[in-house]
Structure 1
Amino acid sequence: MSELRQRLGREPDGAQEPEEKESESENKLDGETASDSESKSEFGGAPPAPTSDDTPEVLNRALSNLSSRWKNWWVRGILTLAMIAFFFIIIYLGPMVLMMIVMCVQIKCFQEIITIGYNVYRSYELPWFRTLSWYFLLCVNYFFYGETVTDYFFTLVQREEPLRILSKYHRFISFALYLTGFCMFVLSLVKKHYRLQFYMFGWTHVTLLIVVTQSHLIIHNLFDGMIWFIVPISCVICNDIMAYMFGFFFGRTPLIKLSPKKTWEGFIGGFFATVLFGLLLSYLMSGYRCFTCPVEFNNDSNSFTVDCEPSELFQLQEYNIPLVIQSVIRWKTVRMYPFQIHSIALSTFASLIGPFGGFFASGFKRAFKIKDFANTIPGHGGIMDRFDCQYLMATFVNVYIASFIRGPNPSKLIQQLLALRPDQQVHIFNTLKAHLVDKGMLASSEDA
């Protein structure tokens, strides 16, 4: 700490005083304690400079006569429509493009968070932080996506000798790669800066946990059917838009100190709008096999296919309406897809719990005195500013599918059986045959 104070003390007094005054005033506004200020000094004194939106000049000229409030409203609205149009385009292009986009978003989010840490870290001229961060990103992606390739492209992997070897020893290779990075980190430790270096080591790993793990779950959801990818993401987008709209026009009551612009009116209005939107969107999508069928890899054509016989989730069922509601709407039954019931759970989570991902991100940004993670999207900030709620939603969807939807996967079981030795396959065949004979589903050899 004494060495850190000396480093801070070497700054010119004239440059330091305004920052200290500004910091003190911001601490009063944000409710920071003395411990917050002390931890800030341990990370190199002055926090990163706030980022600003790089609004295109054509929009600045077109909206120059508006107040800042309405100018921001129009900029956010125009860019939101552009992003929604882009979302429709990548859905149309198919599963492979969606996976590539998820990977690109993951890398950009990682870069935005690591850059914040790097701005703190580089003031001490310590080695290898950014290099090791990207190396660990490569290692973790190799581990997660190697497992996915083995699961979903088993036949293709078994056809190629190099891929078969990589698949067989995948976990050992992943561990060896990570261990190399771990040793590199230990060798990079510099005397008198151990604490800061371990802070940054933890920073990198928490970022990997938040970004890489969640994006991997998004791709897993996609393989269960594009509807499990599109509906949750759309519900988060809808909630974000409608909460902003209700808050902009009707907001009066502050919701949470971390995000002073969030209001109860926007939060409640966004909830009801999102649930209704989820019901309508799931009804429209449940009738199309391209959205409801699991994404599978066709080994004959070396391409993805989404053709199947729809499961019961996506077949219209008749449900009895509760008597209390019958007296109001005069209907006794209603026909709907079972998936629409699940969509209520998804949209409820997106509107009630999903925003806490945004609140978490707001707390993180306020801790480092930055407005946005980056200025990639005018009026919206960085990519991470748009995906802070999406990552939390992806985890919920994956847990929800595993808990209430997904059963044993016959294709994966067959893949595992084909990887066994011939004698093991014969043993399983005889055991399964005896079981089916006992159940009366197969005739015994004596009866034949």
Structure 2
Amino acid sequence: MFSRIMVANRGEIALRIIRACREMGIETVAVCSKSDANATYLKLADIVVCIGPADAEGSYLNIPSIISAAEITDIEAIHPGYGFLSEVSHFAEVCESSNIVFIGPKSDALRKLGNKTEARKIAIENKVPVVPGSLSVIKSQQEALSVAHEIGFPVIIKASLGGGGRGMRVAHNDISLINSLTIAQREAKAAFKDSSIYIEKYIEDARHIEVQIVGDNYGNIIHLGERDCTMQRRHQKLIEESPAPYITDRAREDICKAAIKMAKSINYTNAGTVEFLLDKENNYYFIEVNTRLQVEHPVTEMVTGIDLVKLQIKIASGERLNIKQKKIRSQGVAIECRINAEDPYNDFRPQPGKITNYHPPGGRGVRVDSHIHSGYEIPPYYDSLIAKLIVHQNTREEAIACMRRALSEYVIEGVKTTIPLQLDLITHPQFANGNINTNFVDNLMAKT
């Protein structure tokens, strides 16, 4: 087992990893930007190293600075969390060449699955259903039109690299396709330093289902069930739950088997998520693999009782998976609401600023993953996620009621947050009866 680990991230996920390490008796080195240097959660780390200025490019995305900090603090492994460098194959390669263990997949897997067009090819080779679309990156407007006419409108343009909804645009005709193509390429270039895009058939009225997978270094791969992430706005998730409600047992089983097939085909190691779309007829289609810990991992932890961060660390240190697939049982229902510092009723405008009053909810089955507190200054430089509110109850009805109560208790003053929107969504009759799709939130917001 490792004796000292670097946490190459910030905010709530950095705190989550630090806490797991403390429980395992592992020392931690936390890196931070100048903007985060006074963050309270850093006091829980054994060593803190400031690696650069406030902007992410100069700090949390600065590989030379992070590796330099790793060398001077004599760490054995780096946990990248999610976002930033977590899915960058070059970073994993640099770690490997520096004799530092990257707590995540091998660089080869990151490279293969990080490019979504390559991941689609792997799925096709393994007879996992994919959404009809281009087999490689789109190189011209004419090629884009040709693909769109072949598979039929509407289509969705996607960045070949990265995620988080950036570089994604839906087109319903030739004109919107050409216009959206340029915008998507520009967004992809800005977000991922790569403007390559591909095109898929846009599955209307779809639900977003993902499967948590875990693999060790000895060929053992398991899944920890599925999550429903259908409640999204602009392709970014707002509410996640496990198990996925209102899908057939056959679809659930087939999707999980497909996820395992994808992982085994490339000898996947550590934690990852295989994502699918499910149409109205319960047909499923592979869309991508997120080669990292997910923001929504707590819902899987709650229903399985498995600490995913600790499991990641154990696997990276060389331990074998001691969990058999047949022994994994999902108990109850877990729901997570992402709390963002945004004004949901003003085009989700980010809300940096000082939190003047903070009081998180509690009670049986309530978990809050957050690094914020009264007096905390939310910086304007990073993602607006400031907390994750998770509930776990015996039934879905009880979980919804518990989440409604917890959201109504949650006090964050000084900045606007998405809590009012989350309350509207969690109490909406269509969420309760499962009559939702990935456009539900956007359509609802368009009416307000």
TM-score, length of structure 1 as denominator length: 0.22
Larger radius of gyration: 1
* Structure with greater proportional strand content: 2
* Structure with greater proportional helix content: 1
Greater relative contact order (CA < 8 Å, ≥ 6 in sequence): 1
